[in-house]
């Protein structure tokens, strides 16, 4: 009987996870500690392809919380021109502490970044913003996360809350 219970719990954990893209470009990898409080154990190297809008790979990370995408954009204070410095994607629970992502909720969030305080003076001419998006669907941590429902195309919120309860009860 115990075996059946463990099997069901294991099977539920396999089916109750999302598949998230997991990558970061050089800039994010080198400045990791300024964005993520957890150490970078999941990414062994940077991936310049991570910044591509149409990024797609078969290397996916299983995630029982939410997926995220993170853009770091710098806007030149004199010209107004904006460029992307960094992009990171992954599973929220693998890279972020609960305090970093649970209080924000699903959807997109932007803020003025403090990373400029730690960069060389060459970056003083920029206003640097962090743009985060949290979502709860397979492969949702794409640029489209910022413009679509973070729950997918159907009532995913109820299922997401149920999964969170299941995960917290299992711990």
What is the span of the domain harbouring residue 39?
Answer: 16-170
In a domain, 152, yes or no: yes
Mean pLDDT for the chain overall: 77
Residue 87 confidence class, pLDDT cut points 50, 70, 90: very high
- Compute the C-alpha angle 51/57/59, nearest 5°: 115
Reported pTM = 0.73
Model confidence at 119: pLDDT above 70: yes
Q: Per residue, what are the HEC states of 57-126?
A: CCCEEEECCCEEEEEEEEEECCCCCEEEEEEEEEEHHHHCCHHHHCCCCCEEEEEECCHHHHCCHHHHHE
Helix (H, G, I), strand (E, B) or coil at 160: helix
Q: What is the DSSP letter of 145?
A: G
Question: Which residues lie across from 71 on neighbouring strands?
Answer: 87, 131
In a domain, 98, yes or no: yes
* Residue 111 near residue 128, CB atoms below 8 Å: no
C-alpha 149/C-alpha 156 separation (Å) is 10
- The predicted pLDDT at position 94 comes to 82
Cα–Cα distances (Å) from 72 to 15, 81, 150, in that order, read 33, 14, 20
In a domain, 1, yes or no: no
In a domain, 4, yes or no: no
In a domain, 37, yes or no: yes
In a domain, 117, yes or no: yes
In a domain, 3, yes or no: no
Percent of the chain residues topping a pLDDT of 90: 27
Model confidence at 10: pLDDT above 80: no
- The per-residue pLDDT for range 33-58, each reduced to its tens digit, is 777 755 655 565 678 898 888 888 88
In a domain, 9, yes or no: no
The count of structural domains within the chain is 1
């Amino acid at each position: 009987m115990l075996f059946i219970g463990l099997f069901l719990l294991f099977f539920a954990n396999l089916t109750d996870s999302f598949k998230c893209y997991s990558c970061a470009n050089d800039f994010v990898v080198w400045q990791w500690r300024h964005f993520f409080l957890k150490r970078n154990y999941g990414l062994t190297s940077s991936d310049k392809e991570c910044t591509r809008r149409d990024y797609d790979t078969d290397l996916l990370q299983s995630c029982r919380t939410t997926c995220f995408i993170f853009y770091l954009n710098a806007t030149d204070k004199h010209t107004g021109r904006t460029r992307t410095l960094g992009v990171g994607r992954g599973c929220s629970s693998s890279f972020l502490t609960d305090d970093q992502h649970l209080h924000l909720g699903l959807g997109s969030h932007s803020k003025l970044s403090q990373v400029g305080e730690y960069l060389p003076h060459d970056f003083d001419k920029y206003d640097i913003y962090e743009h985060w998006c949290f979502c709860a669907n397979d492969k949702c941590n794409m640029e489209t996360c910022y413009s679509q429902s973070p729950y997918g195309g159907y009532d995913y919120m109820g299922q997401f809350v149920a999964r969170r309860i299941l995960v917290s009860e299992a711990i």
